[in-house]
């Protein structure tokens, strides 16, 4: 393996380019096999640039056919082109036009970066460094230019020709060709460039902004899928309205286009005025999409739309600042979903995602700060830390400053930085200036990796009616960061009295305590509350007010008390989870079962189910035990995933077994004849009903038959798929038959095929690996489509902890062999699947050694991409 250390890029080395690109004129001649791109770049030296300093442009897999400056062809000695770019040796010391003509071959572009073909459609992906695969350019986010794009293509092959901005001309040409010209008036970095050419269907609509401007909306897709775009369109219009209302941001062009494509490395991309989407995040109809799919589509449509202000109008100075746009935009899409649906349910779901995706990253060999200061391959930094933890950091700002203070800061951000490529420092500064606060210490959240552990213990003195809370923070070292600074940690809290009502206090000393929040700034604080009439139970970290691991001296009874009385829905949910977590951890350690706590948890679950004041979606989340990976991380070392699996399953039986009759009654009552709609009410109802069904598969001998029955009679994909997952993951007696039916019933729908693949990959039985191998070895399996590959092998590596970490190492070897193979075609997919290994250092010795061997064998491969070798090098430390 090449180690490529010389390619490491450091934040401290940032310097602006010596040249600026003012405007870009592109002319694409699109045709099967070869596409020609003529680029005219209007360039000028920046102030201070040495006259004649070389101009180094990025370029990859381009064939240079012509090059000229101000119309005069360059002699060979005036430039140098190699595999990474083009250098003009002594350009003019004034504004000039560099013209290049290159040819590219989208047909063979399996990396799906730059211009490529997906089901015959030509489309682009330029973030972060794809534009250099289209033409020679200063391919970095701080080079902002206006773009004019002319495209010519065969009128039958590509009747639709789209690019960023507004359409300014179109027409027919000879030989069945036609052209279109698009102009984007907003200066933008090249990563936001996009172009689409193909034979596509569409749906259209309009939106009128608050100030009365009419915007034409369109969603383009494969012919025949138009009807499945309606939900995405509806979500788009709601997103546009929400951004006006909540952040005062209006859309700024006359058109907004979305295109759904089948081959895409990520979820979607926010190209200015022309978002390109993985089609799984656009298409929805009740028979083939689940409630979760509907919600995901709504969320991602919103996310990409919100980027228009947080990402496009204000972009990143360099890729180290990626979370400036991503963390902030995730925060915005989370708020959108909270406002549209249920805030507490959304918060719990987001924390579940954070804990299952980001916490393991932060606790393992790939840990990095939300704003890293070095990278070898930027594609490997589109991570849960940049996205989800980035959002948590913004959320803490909002928590600390209050809604009004946060909004003041955001208003100033838009006012001050519109049209700029900027930094985390500039972002923090607007909140400091708007609120007259110092965020110096807060910045640590951006600079340091690792999840702080916050430990709290309390004592009560009845005689003096004083209550003491002692609290401290500790962050374990992470790769490259042995020492950790103290962070500002907002701990939202309340005290609950013996009768279950909130309790007040007279005075408090020893720490920064606001009405409902402790702000911890030091390593530790000892707070004394006076005038506390009786011993309270503290409810801590309400709403998960900071992304930390919390350890307390609460007893199981305290937790059960909170589960019943806490006015904070998040902590009610958390309390039940904590009771279950302690019981599983105990069982894995081989301790005698705490029968009283098991009974009490069972009773609390029963009460939760019966409680009419809780909504169904909340109950669906509450009637569960923490997932196996969370248990593993809590144990922390020498983890045996099989033992955790067994212990968790036994506890599920012990807690929910006695409730089967009640669960069945509720299950029957929750059935509904109403026609399917993805409303919050219906979604919650189905979520609870399907949760009960899944619990019964584990806890009742009749569960498997119930799942099979639900599968067969379902009238929508949510119910059918929930039954298939329950049966398939547990690998019940009918699982194989149900899977076979599912495959036939939806033959020809690739997105449903992905669901089938994912269930196959997550089956808990020993036979799963050989079944996966058979699927993958089928010559008809689409080996280049990211969705298919991720659904099968990604689901195995990330979603089947027991079989992936098999003690004989077969799971590990299968994944590394897959990575080596896919890496030759699509390095991004390969590198991402490989991150499934991030838990390996935590495993018990036999599994750990097997994982290490598989990784070391992969490392012997000489030809790994930079993407994969970067992950591998960090993984092995
Ligand atoms: N900015 C997009 C994420 C994205 C990143 C890379 C891609 O291709 C390799 C595609 C999309 C977002 O946050 O949605
Ligand atoms: Zn984004």
Q: State whether the beta carbon of 392 lies less than 6 angstroms from ligand 1.
A: no
Q: List strand residue ranges (DSSP E) for 301-452, in order.
A: 315-316, 374-375, 421-422
Residue with the smallest CA separation from ligand 1 atom 3 is 269
Atom 10 in ligand 1: which residue has the minimum CA distance? 266
Q: How confident is the model at residue 2 (pLDDT cuts 50, 70, 90)?
A: very low
Strands 466-474 and 507-509: unpaired
Cβ(537) to ligand 1 under 6 A? no
pLDDT of residue 42: 98
Q: How far, in Å, is the centroid of ligand 1 from the Cα of 751?
A: 20
266 lines ligand 1 (CB under 6 A): yes
Reported as half-sphere exposure (CB side, CA atoms, 13 A), residue 325 has a value of: 31
Q: What's the average model confidence in pLDDT over 624-641? A: 97
pLDDT band of residue 5 (cuts 50, 70, 90) is: low
The CA distance from 619 to 687, in Å, is 9
Q: How confident is the model at residue 836 (pLDDT cuts 50, 70, 90)?
A: very high
Cβ burial of 86 (10 Å; 0-12, 13-18, 19+) is buried
Nearest alpha carbon, ligand 1 atom 1: 269
Which residue, among 337, 359, 333, 358, has the nearest Cα to 346 in the 3D structure?
Answer: 337
- Mean pLDDT over 268-273 rounds to 98
Longest dimension (CA), the chain: 96
Q: Is the peptide bond before 367 cis (omega within 30 degrees of 0)?
A: no
Per-residue pLDDT reduced to its tens digit, 469-506: 999 999 999 999 999 999 999 999 999 999 999 999 99
Closest to 838 measured CA to CA, from 799, 794, 876, 787: 876
Q: Kindly give the residue spans of alpha helices, DSSP state H, lying in 485-568.
A: 556-565
Q: What is the mean pLDDT of residues 649-655?
A: 98
Residue 575 is predicted with a pLDDT of 98
Closest ligand 1 atom to the C-alpha of 329? 13
pLDDT value for 143: 98
Residues in the chain: 877
Q: Is the ipTM of this complex over 0.95?
A: yes
Please give the Cα distance from 558 to 537 (Å, whole number): 7
Neighbours of 395 (CB within 10 A): 24
Any atom of ligand 1 within 6 Å of the Cβ of 269: yes
Expressed in angstroms and rounded, the spacing between residue 864 Cα and the centre of ligand 1 is 23
Listed residue (304, 7, 291) closest to 129, CA to CA: 7
Strand partners, 20: 44
350-373: average pLDDT: 98
Alpha-carbon gap, residue 576 to 562, rounded angstroms: 8
Q: Are 154 and 187 in contact (CB under 8 A)?
A: no
Burial grade of 21 (CB within 10 A; 0-12, 13-18, 19 or more): buried
* Three-state DSSP class for residue 713: helix
- 99 CB less than 6 Å from ligand 1? no
Return mean pLDDT, the chain.
97
User: Rg of the chain's alpha carbons, rounded to an integer?
Assistant: 28
Quick one: which atom of ligand 1 is closest to the CA of 382? 5
Query: Ligand 1: does its nearest atom lie under 6 Å from the Cβ of 270?
Result: yes
Q: What spacing in Å lies between the alpha carbon of 794 and ligand 1's midpoint?
A: 18
Residue pair 124/269 in contact (Cβ under 8 Å)? The answer is no
Q: CB under 8 Å to 166, separation ≥6 — which residues?
A: 182, 183, 184, 185, 253, 254, 255, 273
The pLDDT tens digits of the residues spanning 567-611 come to: 999 999 999 999 999 999 999 999 999 999 999 999 999 999 999
Dihedral (CA of 104, 106, 108, 112) sign: positive
Query: Distance, CA 316 to ligand 1 centroid (Å)?
Result: 14
pLDDT in tens, 285-303: 999 999 999 999 999 999 9
Residue holding tokens 């193909």? 198
Distance CA 698, CA 657 (A): 8
- Of the candidates 412, 418, 22, the one whose C-alpha atom is nearest the C-alpha of residue 252 is 418
Q: CB of 308 closer than 6 A to ligand 1?
A: no
Nearest CA to ligand 1 atom 5: 127
- Residue-wise pLDDT tens digits, 507-561: 999 999 998 999 999 999 999 999 999 999 999 999 999 999 999 999 999 999 9
Point out the ligand nearest to the CA of residue 306. Answer: 2
Structure tokens at 785: 């489509």
The predicted structure's pLDDT at residue 277: 98
Mean pLDDT of 63-80: 98
**DSSP code, position 532:** -
């Amino acid at each position: 393996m090449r180690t490529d250390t010389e390619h490491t890029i450091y934040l401290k080395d940032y310097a602006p380019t010596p040249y600026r690109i003012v405007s870009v004129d592109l002319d694409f001649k699109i045709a099967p096999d070869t596409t020609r791109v003529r680029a005219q770049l209007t360039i000028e030296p920046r102030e201070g640039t040495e006259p004649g300093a070389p101009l180094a442009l990025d370029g990859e897999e381009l064939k240079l056919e012509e090059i000229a400056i101000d119309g005069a062809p360059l002699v060979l000695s005036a430039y140098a082109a190699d595999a990474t770019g083009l250098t003009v040796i002594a350009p003019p010391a004034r504004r000039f036009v560099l013209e290049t003509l290159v040819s590219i071959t989208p047909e063979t572009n399996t990396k799906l970066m730059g211009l490529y073909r997906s089901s015959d459609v030509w489309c682009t992906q330029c973030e972060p460094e794809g534009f250099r695969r289209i033409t020679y350019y200063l391919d970095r986010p701080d080079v902002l230019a206006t773009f004019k794009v002319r495209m010519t293509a065969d009128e039958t092959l590509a009747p639709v020709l789209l690019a960023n901005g507004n359409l300014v001309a179109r027409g027919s040409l000879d030989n069945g060709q036609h052209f279109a010209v698009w102009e984007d008036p907003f200066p933008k970095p090249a990563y936001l460039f996009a172009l689409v050419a193909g034979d596509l269907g569409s749906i259209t609509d309009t939106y009128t902004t608050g100030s009365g401007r009419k915007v034409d909306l369109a969603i383009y897709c494969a012919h025949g899928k138009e009807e499945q775009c309606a939900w995405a369109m509806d979500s788009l219009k709601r997103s546009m309205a929400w951004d006006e209302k909540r952040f005062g941001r209006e859309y700024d062009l006359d058109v907004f286009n979305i295109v759904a494509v089948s081959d895409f490395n990520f979820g979607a991309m926010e190209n200015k005025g022309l978002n390109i989407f993985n089609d799984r995040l656009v298409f929805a109809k009740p028979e083939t999409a689940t409630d979760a799919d509907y919600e995901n589509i709504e969320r991602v449509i919103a996310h990409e739309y919100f980027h228009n202000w947080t990402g496009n109008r204000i972009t990143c100075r360099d890729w180290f600042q990626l979370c400036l746009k991503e963390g902030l935009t995730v925060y915005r899409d989370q708020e959108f979903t909270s406002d549209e649906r249920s805030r507490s349910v959304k918060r719990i779901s987001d924390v579940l995602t954070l804990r299952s995706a980001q916490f393991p990253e932060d606790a393992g060999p790939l840990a990095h700060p939300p704003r890293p200061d070095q990278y070898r391959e930027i594609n490997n930094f589109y991570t849960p830390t940049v996205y989800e933890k980035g959002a948590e950091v913004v959320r803490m700002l909002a928590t600390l400053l209050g809604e009004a203070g946060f909004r003041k800061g955001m208003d100033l951000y838009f006012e001050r930085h519109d049209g700029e490529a900027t930094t985390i420092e500039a972002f923090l500064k607007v909140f400091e200036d708007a609120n007259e606060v110092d965020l110096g210490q807060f910045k640590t959240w951006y600079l340091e990796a690792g999840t702080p552990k916050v430990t709290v213990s309390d004592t009560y003195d009845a005689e003096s009616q004083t209550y003491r809370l002692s609290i401290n923070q500790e962050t374990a070292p992470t790769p490259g960061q042995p020492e950790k600074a103290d962070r500002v940690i907002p701990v939202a809290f309340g005290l609950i009295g013996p009768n279950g009502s909130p309790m007040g206090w007279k005075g408090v000393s020893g720490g920064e305590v606001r009405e409902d929040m402790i702000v911890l700034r030091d390593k530790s604080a000892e707070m004394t509350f006076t005038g506390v009439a009786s011993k309270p139970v503290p409810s801590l970290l309400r709403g998960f007010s900071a992304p930390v691991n919390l350890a307390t001296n609460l007893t199981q009874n305290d937790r059960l008390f909170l589960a019943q009385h806490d006015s904070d829905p998040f902590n009610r949910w958390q309390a039940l989870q904590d009771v279950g977590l302690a019981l599983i951890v105990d069982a894995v350690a081989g301790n005698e079962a705490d029968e009283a706590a098991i009974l009490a948890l069972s009773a609390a679950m029963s009460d939760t189910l019966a409680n009419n004041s809780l909504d169904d979606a909340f109950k669906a989340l509450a009637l569960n035990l923490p997932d196996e990976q969370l248990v593993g991380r809590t144990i922390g070392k020498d983890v045996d995933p099989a033992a955790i699996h067994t212990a968790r399953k036994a506890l599920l039986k012990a807690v929910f077994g006695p409730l089967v009759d009640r669960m069945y009654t509720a299950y029957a009552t929750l059935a509904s004849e109403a026609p399917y709609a993805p409303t919050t009410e219906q979604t919650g109802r189905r979520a609870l009903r399907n949760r009960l069904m899944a619990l019964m598969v584990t806890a009742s001998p009749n569960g498997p038959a119930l799942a099979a029955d639900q599968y067969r009679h379902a009238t929508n994909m949510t119910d059918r798929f929930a039954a298939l997952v329950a049966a398939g993951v547990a690998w019940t007696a009918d699982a194989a038959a149900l899977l076979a039916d599912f495959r036939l019933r939806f033959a020809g729908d690739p997105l449903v095929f992905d669901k089938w693949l994912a269930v196959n990959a997550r089956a808990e039985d020993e036979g799963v690996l050989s079944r996966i191998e058979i699927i993958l070895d089928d010559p008809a399996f689409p080996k280049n489509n990211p969705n298919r590959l991720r659904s099968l092998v990604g689901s195995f590596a990330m979603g089947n902890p027991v079989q992936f970490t098999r003690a004989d190492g077969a799971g590990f070897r299968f994944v590394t062999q897959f990575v080596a193979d896919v890496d030759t075609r699509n390095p991004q997919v390969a590198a991402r699947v490989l991150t499934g290994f991030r838990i390996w250092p935590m495993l018990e010795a036999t599994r750990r050694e097997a994982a290490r061997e598989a990784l070391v064998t992969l490392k012997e491969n000489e030809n790994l991409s930079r993407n994969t070798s970067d992950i591998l090098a960090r993984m092995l430390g």
